[in-house]
Amino acid sequence: MTENLYRDSVRLKDLQLMSGTLVAQSKLPGVSAAITDKSFTLNMGTNLFRLRSVRRFSVQAVLTGQSEEGFTNIFDDDRYQRTVGAGLAFNVFRFGPNTTTTYYWPDSTNRAKLHRQLRQELARYDAARGQSATHNTMLQAGDTLCRLNEQGVLERAIVITRDYDALLEPADDPLSPAGLRRMALRQTYWKAIDALRPLLPKKWAGMSSSEAVAWIRSHVCVPDTLTQLAYDWHDKRTADRLDSIQLKDVEWKQRALVWTSGKILFNNEKQPIYQASETSLMKEKRFPFVDMRLGLNKGWIRRKTRYFGAVGIGYNNQRTFNPKRQVTYQRVLPQQLDPSTPPVNTVAESKFYPTEPAELHRAVGDAQYSFFWNRWRLGFDATYRIRQDVRFDARTDHRATFGLFVPALVGESAINFMLQGKWDNDEKWRLGFNVSASLPGFLTKK
């Protein structure tokens, strides 16, 4: 019963306006993507499903890339200073009286009233499931369509219902026995299909008559299939009612979310390294590394504002390839531009690292905070990350970002535009951007 007090659909709506920084960190269930000025992240995964009795779990496949020359160069095989990685991420939403099911009120009386109202609605649902007049009407309509199918007149019924001209063919008197039978067939089919309209697929109107017959045979005339469709429809109506109670019917002050997230990425980067040969002074070499993160996240959802905070730790063994440490080498090469003229000397330039940087084993810590004003549709986001080699004799890397974001909602999905100011040890301050999209039902829509 506890899990029903904060349904998944309500939770996903609460997460819709999450900043693009958290999306890039794979902290949003389902399908999402984020593109910044130098990187991209694609998360392909499930919506929430039950893991044991009181937790909700989401797992995602993650594809990510980064390029110092801009995200458009990530998949350019002729470019360096870029990494491509893949891995897995997860999000686990916790339950309990003091975490995700908590509704914070001025007093506990109103909270108890909400919980009592939800339980009463669930009790009515349990009593009515499979017993309502609408449920029985749907089953009777299904029997009617199956009987038409057995008689071999189902497709004919669909044709004359959709095309009134077909009802009058062949050109005889509509009041003749044949015409009256066609009218009766049309009325029987129309009454049955109208009763089943809530169960029909969204593309029903665009189906051909043969496709409609195939759907009826596979979804209506197969034993227990129609019954399950009717149950699913009733469950959806009840779920929408529970959402309405929590989102509209009751004056709530604040909802809270608490969840744990983590991911592991296996990355690969290609760099030019010095190695003298007869034809070149460099060679391309690949350097694999792993990146692991574990984070604790919390959201506070209020009527006028919403906050998200996150802290995390991680491990990274990526080598540091600083472009400022590259060596530029120029060679004069003769090039024959025209067979009738002497060769022309041209200058070929190449850049490479004189040595391979040592592999670093770094601990990573990060913190993130975002604030969103519902009225102004404007949000603020700030992040900080520190990376320290476990030997503690290497340089400590610091990075920070500050951004303003504006979301655009499209149904259950959201597109987020954020302008950022970024700072780190090397580049100091620069401008950047983050564009993210969340598609929570992309893989689970029917």
Q: What is the pLDDT of residue 430?
A: 87
**Domain range summary for the chain, segments of one domain joined by +:** 2-105+255-279+286-318+362-439, 123-241
Return phi, psi of residue 430, to 5°. -155, 160
pLDDT for residue 419 is more than 90: yes
| pLDDT confidence tier of residue 98, bands split at 50, 70 and 90 | very low
Q: Is the peptide bond before 170 cis (omega within 30 degrees of 0)?
A: yes
In the predicted structure, residue 162 carries a pLDDT above the cut 50: yes
Residue 39 forms beta bridges with which residues? 66
| pLDDT above 70 for 105 | no
Average confidence (pLDDT) over 183-208: 88
- Residue 323, number of CB atoms within 10 A of its CB: 12
- Cα separation, 416 vs 409, whole angstroms: 9
Confidence at residue 243, expressed as pLDDT on a 0 to 100 scale: 73
pLDDT surpassing 70 at residue 80: no
Per-residue pLDDT at 402 exceeds 90: yes
Q: Quote the tokens at residue 191.
A: 């009454």
Q: Name which of 43-52, 177-186, 434-443 the model is least confident about.
A: 43-52
Distances (CA, A) of 430 to 74, 323, 378: 20, 17, 22
What is the predicted pLDDT for the residue at 1? 33
**Across the chain, what does the average pLDDT equal?**
79
For tokens 């669930």, name the residue.
Answer: 122
CATH classification for the domain delimited by 2-105+255-279+286-318+362-439, as one of 3.40.50.620, 2.40.160.40, 1.20.120.790, 3.40.50.720: 2.40.160.40
Least confident of 34-48, 293-307, 334-348: 334-348
How many C-alpha atoms does 207 have within 13 Å on its Cβ side?
Answer: 16
Counting Cβ atoms within 10 Å, is residue 440 exposed (0-12), middle (13-18) or buried (19+)?
buried
What is the per-residue pLDDT for 53?
47
Average of pLDDT values for 139-163? Answer: 86
Per residue in 246-296, pLDDT tens? 766 555 667 778 889 999 999 888 788 877 665 567 777 888 889 999 999
